[in-house]
Structure 1
Amino acid sequence: MEQQTTVDLPVWDLTDLYQGADDVRIDRDLDQLEQRAQAFEQRYRGRIAQGQVSAVELKQALDEYEWLARAQGKPGNFAQLHFSTDTTDAARGALTQKVKERGSRMATHVIFFTLEVGKIPEEHYLRLSEASELAPYRHYLDYERSLSRYHLSEPEEKILEETANSRGRAFRRLFTEITSRMSFRMVVDGKEKELTQSELLAYNYDPDREVRRAASVALAQGLKPHAHVLTFIMNTLLHEKQVMDRIRGFEEPEDSRHLGNELERAHVDTMVRVVADNFDLVTDYYRLKARLLGIEGLTHYDRYAPLEKERVFISFDQARDIVVQAFGDFSPRMAELTRPFFSERWIDAPVKAGKRGGAFCAGVTPDHHPYVLLNYTGKPRDVMTLAHELGHGVHDRLAAKQHMLDYHPVLPMAETASTFGELLVFEKLNESLDSRQKRLGLRCEKLEDTFATVFRQVAMYRFEQRIHRERRSQGELTTEQLNALWQQSMQEMFGDSLTLGEDHQWTWLYIPHIVQTPFYVYAYAFGELLVLSLFARYKQEGQAFIDKYFHLLAAGGSRRPAELLGGLGIDISRAEFWQGGCDLIRQNIREAQELAAAGQGKGTE
């Protein structure tokens, strides 16, 4: 597989945050944060809950609290971004830990505020909420009050915050360090090579089945030595979640995530049920793919096998041009929001040892631009990953008019712009292809991406549900039990069309979302199904839709998803809405089947 050298790929410039890990301004900013947090506590502690502040005073308190949240975002994000590109650097790790610990110290001075907001007498709160001065913070105040029934006492909350860095946060950091430092050995072009996880996973898309099989074996062999420690981390975090849910009063393991996402449990359950009821779509597709590949008995390393036998390499510059042009065809404004990511070095793209795997977009604060991390290997799907993360980036930039407390959209809404960006690039690429076979190949790649975003994420969500409930009912789980639950959960979506092999059972070990953000993954399915419906509306409405779409993104996290989408006539409580998204996927499968049938009848164009 042709590789682009690290020299050719952009490395982000973090100097508009700080010059480096030893920048004296980091300690200066942390000191100022703590001093202002102490002053905030002295001024307002004990007055909010008692109803002793007017709307004007509460607005002043919220302005200061918002400043603290925004100011903390600068050192916090710098430390995490700096660490993510080299988790083997002890100085970067130490900075990350220091910023977390200083952040906890600051937080102990302001914990009282949200607790007291939740205790404002209802009658007094209703009067306050009608005041025009508080209009910018009304959503945030309502959200914090929705959390109040799960709050503990202030001393208890302080203890939890001060010990967090030696409990769950510590184990999550350990997971990142272990998985980022992993190396895998595989024979490539007759020579054994040592590969990073990102380099190895790129071979899942190789046209040579033996290469894909070898990559699968190498992945399992590289993961197995870490299974004991990663299983211990998983059990520890599962138990910590159990304890925290019990003392806060959450009924189900996933309820705290739904609350954070401002979604009703019933709405998520409806979506998950509809997706699971449509697992037959995946089965139908992989029966088609088996015929197209001429393989009897597909297995896990055939899931992403390309139909084209020629290895395709796309340079980063080509990927940039494809994405920017696709975004620009949708709206010149979208392209304009995207270009600075390249020209101002807001992207870190090289693959290297010690770098965090995968990709992400980090929205720092409303008054600072986002950053994108990639592990770019030049495969066609990397173009989609770039479009996905830049979709997040556009979302963050449009939401910059919101204050910090409403800046970040909740997770399901956060996956809207990213998935929409992928669809724009897919459409652009599809229009540019001049043969049926190439269009079929691209259609199949897009379907596989959709399956990974919708059905795989719901399968993963059900895996999480199972392991949390198993841990609570029977105690610590063995690696073998976790492997079996993983295989069971992931096999369900494929039916009898594809069999997950023995090596696949180890692959839960490197999935970051399960460890870092429990029950995050259903947000991907939510976003994809929502975007399929939005994209169909865009094709019908044209420019009128574009204005509505930008308005949706500009809202950031300032409104609940049901309210925000209700304004577009979307009712997320109805199974019919989610089924509509699945029906659009079924239509795409039908189009792939028709392209395949045309090829069999007429030969290759």
Structure 2
Amino acid sequence: MRFPMPVFDANSQGNEGFGNLPEWDLSDLYPDPDSPELKRDLDWLAGECADFAKTYEGKLADLDAAALLQAVQRYEQIDVIAGRVMSFAGLRYYQITTDSDRAKFMADCQDKITAHTTPLVFYSLEFNRLEDDHLNRLLAENADLARYKPVFDRMRALKPYQLSDELEKFLHDQSTVGSAAWNRLFDETMAGLEFDVDDETLNLEATLNLLTEKDRAKREAATHALAAVFRDNIKIFARVHNTLAKEKEIEDRWRKMPSPQTGRHLSNHVEAEVVEALRNAVVAAYPRLSHRYYALKAKWLGLDRMQVWDRNAPLPMKDDTIVDWDQAQDIVMSAYADFDPKMADIARPFFTDGWIDAGVKPGKAPGAFAHPTVTPVHPYVMLNYMGKPRDVMTLAHELGHGVHQVLAAEQGELLSSTPLTLAETASVFGEMLTFRKLLDGAQTPQERKTLLAGKVEDMINTVVRQIAFYDFECKLHAARAEGELTPDDINALWMSVQAESLGPIFDFADGYETFWAYIPHFVHSPFYVYAYAFGDGLVNALYAVYQEGDPDFREKYFDMLRAGGSKHHKELLAPFGLDASDPTFWEKGLSMISGMIDELEAMED
């Protein structure tokens, strides 16, 4: 079932002075873990999955269009109920990952869902054995069935890589003790780590937050504390990565996947050559993006050389004002309303109806995410809000996801889910709207410079850093295919991409080679990270069209979000005159970043 993992975003610990931070009200999913509604749904799921298999296994090829539509709609409802259960269990767990009762509840729910849905494994396998002519004839006969064609196309894209029914059932059955178990070990290990910084014991989130402190000594101390704890636990993290990469290599080999990245490209409904064009464009742009910006930043900080703890240092001209929760809400909501009041209307219930969990709490998962749950309910947003301007941008980002998920829910469960490459569109666009509103309101050149530098830094983290992460993963999986990797092997792979992406101005402190260990995406979602760069480049191109004054842009934009996963990226971008498969497409987005750096350099003259 679809359940996104937390996205790393550096925040800190404690909630004092930020106003009344909201917490989730999960009762729209289920009243509580012991509720009769939850038991009813699990009982229904067990019976319905068994009956579905009894009714349809071995018989899909004999169904007419109306009967096949009924089968698809029954499968969709099973997806809704299973997704509802796991959304509730997962969201409760991420509120306090150190709570053993919540962890057990989520694991028990996952075990039950896996057991109940194992009889359904036949469905996609058998569906993919339908003859093309036969399926096309059924689609032509029934418009309601034809509406699901994008779902069928994605299923059938996996046809060359599917295994026997028996093996597929085995993989489904053992998943809870395979990657899911290693994911959980990673999460629980990370949540339990403690870091000693200047005689204070902090969790991971609070320690990472110190890397954005103005006091350079504090940033350095935090870096050394992180390095020390990662080094002490590096064998665990190396074991997690070795096992998951090997498990993936074995399954990919059995499926005859041509590369470790193929599965991600298929799930993202994007061509390998498009991702390669994106990757190559970004790597070629390193010198005029990150290398140039960090040289500027070193000058602002009065440094001849940058250390790794200076990468996220606040700028000397940065305003230290704390943005309380009400201010953050006003900033983001007004930016959304300026674009279109309809966008603000969609976003409002997140603030009023318990759809956001904002405060930092012991044991809470780090970072931020927006989880769509299931289409009959609504999304939930998780933040770790600490009142920094960056946290306001994170709110704008996750709220963009939420708006997208609300609109896409109109498609229904099977068609609403958006590929990762397009899932970042509304979030990054929401950030851009908020940034542009703040930039337009800048009162002084210094304020404008601060905003521009902050945005460039965020974009470098989204584009350059994520493509460097992608290169690290590619190297890691290629190396693991040749044999077991020691922690030093993985450290070396990590460092091989850091100097290239950050540039010659940086020195790398002893211990930084272990910093791959805390990135959750490598564990939860291999090769996920390029989606951030994809989304940023796509939004920059979209925003350029918006700035050019297309009178129909807003309606086209909402139509794109409503489409969810029902259209390919070519279809979605065509109304805007854009094409991601065009080699020059990515250059447009990268040029927006380099143009901002141009303006920052001009301010130095």
TM range (shorter): over 0.9
Question: What does residue range 70-469 of structure 1 map to in structure 2 within 5 Å?
Answer: 70-131=80-141, 132-187=143-198, 192-280=199-287, 281-307=289-315, 308=317, 311-469=320-478
Confirm or deny: 8 A CA contact 1:400 1:407 kept in the other structure: yes
The one-letter code sitting in structure 1 at the alignment partner of 2:150 is H
Query: How many Å separate the matches in 1 of 2:426 and 2:604?
Result: 31
The one-letter code sitting in structure 2 at the alignment partner of 1:500 is F
Out of 31, 44, 54, the position equivalent to 1:32 is 44
The one-letter code sitting in structure 2 at the alignment partner of 1:121 is E
The farther-off stretch of 263-272 and 563-572 is 563-572
Query: How many Å separate the matches in 2 of 1:500 and 1:542?
Result: 46
Confirm or deny: 8 A CA contact 1:440 1:596 kept in the other structure: no
State the match for 1:601 in structure 2: none
Query: How many Å separate the matches in 1 of 2:41 and 2:201?
Result: 41
Query: How many Å separate the matches in 1 of 2:580 and 2:368?
Result: 28
Confirm or deny: 8 A CA contact 1:172 1:515 kept in the other structure: yes
State the match for 2:495 in structure 1: 487
Query: How many Å separate the matches in 1 of 2:603 and 2:44?
Result: 63
Query: How many Å separate the matches in 2 of 1:121 and 1:523?
Result: 33
State the match for 1:4 in structure 2: 15
Confirm or deny: 8 A CA contact 1:206 1:311 kept in the other structure: no
State the match for 2:7 in structure 1: none
Q: Percent identity?
A: 40
Out of 22, 35, 44, the position equivalent to 1:23 is 35
**Secondary structure at the counterpart of residue 313 of structure 1:** coil
The one-letter code sitting in structure 2 at the alignment partner of 1:397 is V
Quote the offset at 1:303 in angstroms.
Answer: 1.2
Confirm or deny: 8 A CA contact 1:306 1:441 kept in the other structure: no
Query: How many Å separate the matches in 2 of 1:251 and 1:118?
Result: 20
Out of 526, 541, 545, the position equivalent to 1:533 is 541
**Secondary structure at the counterpart of residue 502 of structure 2:** coil
Correspondence 1:509 to 2:517 = yes
Confirm or deny: 8 A CA contact 1:199 1:351 kept in the other structure: no
**Secondary structure at the counterpart of residue 493 of structure 1:** helix
State the match for 2:6 in structure 1: none
The superposition leaves residues 75-128 of structure 1 with CA deviations (integer Å, 9 ceiling, x where unpaired) of: 110000000011111111111111111111122111111111100012212212
Query: How many Å separate the matches in 2 of 1:399 and 1:426?
Result: 25
**Secondary structure at the counterpart of residue 361 of structure 1:** strand
**Secondary structure at the counterpart of residue 28 of structure 2:** coil
TM-score, with normalisation over the residues of structure 1?
A: 0.95
Change (3 A) 1:552 1:73: same
State the match for 2:580 in structure 1: 572
- Superposition RMSD in Å: 1.5
The one-letter code sitting in structure 2 at the alignment partner of 1:367 is P
Quote the offset at 1:423 in angstroms.
Answer: 0.7
The one-letter code sitting in structure 2 at the alignment partner of 1:472 is A
Quote the offset at 1:242 in angstroms.
Answer: 0.4
Query: How many Å separate the matches in 2 of 1:497 and 1:31?
Result: 60
TM-score, with normalisation over the residues of structure 2?
A: 0.95
Q: Which has the higher contact order (CA 8 A, sep 6+)?
A: 2
The answer for unaligned runs of 5 or more in structure 1 is: 598-605
The superposition leaves residues 207-234 of structure 1 with CA deviations (integer Å, 9 ceiling, x where unpaired) of: 2211211221122223222211111111
Confirm or deny: 8 A CA contact 2:13 2:360 kept in the other structure: no
The one-letter code sitting in structure 2 at the alignment partner of 1:47 is K
Confirm or deny: 8 A CA contact 2:372 2:402 kept in the other structure: yes
The answer for unaligned runs of 5 or more in structure 2 is: 1-11
**Secondary structure at the counterpart of residue 27 of structure 2:** coil
Confirm or deny: 8 A CA contact 2:231 2:511 kept in the other structure: no
Quote the offset at 1:360 in angstroms.
Answer: 0.5
Confirm or deny: 8 A CA contact 2:19 2:324 kept in the other structure: no
**Secondary structure at the counterpart of residue 319 of structure 1:** helix
Query: How many Å separate the matches in 2 of 1:66 and 1:351?
Result: 36
**Secondary structure at the counterpart of residue 277 of structure 2:** helix
Confirm or deny: 8 A CA contact 1:220 1:507 kept in the other structure: yes
Confirm or deny: 8 A CA contact 1:55 1:133 kept in the other structure: no
Query: How many Å separate the matches in 2 of 1:166 and 1:158?
Result: 14
Query: How many Å separate the matches in 2 of 1:368 and 1:532?
Result: 31
Query: How many Å separate the matches in 2 of 1:423 and 1:503?
Result: 35
**Secondary structure at the counterpart of residue 312 of structure 1:** coil
The superposition leaves residues 413-460 of structure 1 with CA deviations (integer Å, 9 ceiling, x where unpaired) of: 001111011111111111222111121111111101000000100000
The farther-off stretch of 546-555 and 124-133 is 124-133
Give aligned pairs, total.
590
The one-letter code sitting in structure 2 at the alignment partner of 1:140 is V
Quote the offset at 1:566 in angstroms.
Answer: 3.1
**Secondary structure at the counterpart of residue 29 of structure 1:** helix
State the match for 1:602 in structure 2: none
Correspondence 1:591 to 2:591 = no
The one-letter code sitting in structure 2 at the alignment partner of 1:556 is G
State the match for 1:519 in structure 2: 527
Confirm or deny: 8 A CA contact 1:257 1:520 kept in the other structure: yes
Quote the offset at 1:518 in angstroms.
Answer: 0.2
Quote the offset at 1:528 in angstroms.
Answer: 0.1
**Secondary structure at the counterpart of residue 353 of structure 1:** coil
Query: How many Å separate the matches in 1 of 2:556 and 2:171?
Result: 42
The farther-off stretch of 319-328 and 458-467 is 319-328
Confirm or deny: 8 A CA contact 2:23 2:356 kept in the other structure: yes
Confirm or deny: 8 A CA contact 1:180 1:356 kept in the other structure: yes
Out of 531, 549, 558, the position equivalent to 1:550 is 558
Query: How many Å separate the matches in 2 of 1:68 and 1:381?
Result: 39
Confirm or deny: 8 A CA contact 2:467 2:533 kept in the other structure: yes
Out of 56, 60, 64, the position equivalent to 2:66 is 56
The one-letter code sitting in structure 2 at the alignment partner of 1:114 is S
Confirm or deny: 8 A CA contact 1:274 1:578 kept in the other structure: yes
Query: How many Å separate the matches in 2 of 1:309 and 1:210?
Result: 18
Confirm or deny: 8 A CA contact 1:79 1:99 kept in the other structure: yes
Confirm or deny: 8 A CA contact 1:202 1:377 kept in the other structure: no
Quote the offset at 1:313 in angstroms.
Answer: 1.5
